[in-house]
Structure 1
Amino acid sequence: MHYACDHIHLRSRDAMRAATFYVETFGAREVKRVGGDPVQRVVLDLGGLTVFIEQAPAETAPAGPTPCLGLEHVGLRVDDLDAAMADLEARGVPIRTGITERGPGLRIAFVEGPDGALIEVLERKTA
């Protein structure tokens, strides 16, 4: 049996605002919108990964960032972590943790996306 990643599914208080963040910040491409006004789901292509961003019903959306079981964070790989973090900071993206060395050839940092989503930005260097 072989498993392959098909998509990640995020739920947001404002799906359009969240989609705009991923497009403007990480270069995602909007593939389609589902539903009318308001949009029920936005589908993005984020570096080859399909991302569904679903509009959460107002009565079920939590009031603040709430940890959940399941998806803990999204990891996005870059060639130059220093440049990426400088760019994200200049854009006003909230930085959760600065750059940390996690072992030979691995450096990571975390930023915050819409609805408190945790996004890891990482650089892997091969020896």
Structure 2
Amino acid sequence: MPLLTAFHHVAIIASDYARSKAFYTEVLGLSVIAETCRAERDSWKLDLALPGGGQIELFTFPGAPPRATRPEAQGLRHLCFAVADLDAAVAELEAKGVPVEPVRVDRGTGARFTFFADPDGLPLELYET
């Protein structure tokens, strides 16, 4: 039996809870599983459902430092979301005011992909499947 059975969640620390909540729910269309105010920590936690399983945990923490650099810093490089129609997804993001990089082609698979960023500059990828 394999040690790992599935992807469960990724955690993101946001600088502005309301702005990031709006981005992930209104721009990307993720649904809220639970929202918790952790008053003793002056912090919020938002659990978001990813299509097909898995979750994003969106946190705020007072005084959290910004990300050191864009994706080449050690640690998590980017989050990637599968889409059926990359052109439609890009058009929807751009219509909502989200800048999207030019579409590229994966040399290994021939699949098309692109990058954009969340409100804190976290690199996000769309990969056409």
Scaled by the length of structure 2, what TM-score is found? 0.82
**Alignment RMSD (CA, Å):** 1.9
In the alignment, which residue of structure 1 is the partner of 2:59? 54
| Structure 2: tracts of 5 or more residues without a match | none
In the alignment, which residue of structure 1 is the partner of 2:79? 74
User: What's the % identity of the aligned pairs?
Assistant: 31
| Structure 1: tracts of 5 or more residues without a match | none
Q: Are the equivalent residues in 2 in contact too, given 1:12–1:61 (CA < 8 A)?
A: no
Report the 3-state secondary structure (helix = DSSP H, G, I; strand = E; otherwise coil) of the residue aligned with 2:7.
Answer: coil
Task: Give the distance between the partners of 2:117 and 2:32, measured in 1 at CA.
Answer: 20
In the alignment, which residue of structure 1 is the partner of 2:3? 2
How many residues get paired? 120
Task: Give the distance between the partners of 1:24 and 1:39, measured in 2 at CA.
Answer: 21
The one-character-per-residue Cα deviations of 1:15-62 (angstroms, maximum 9, x if unpaired) are: 2321221111221001111125665211111212211011021x2333
Structure ranking higher in strand proportion: 1
Scaled by the length of structure 1, what TM-score is found? 0.83
Amino acid at match of 2:11: H
In the alignment, which residue of structure 2 is the partner of 1:21? 23
- Give structure 1 regions of 4+ aligned residues with deviation exceeding 4 angstroms: 36-39
The one-character-per-residue Cα deviations of 1:51-79 (angstroms, maximum 9, x if unpaired) are: 1011021x2333xx532532111111111
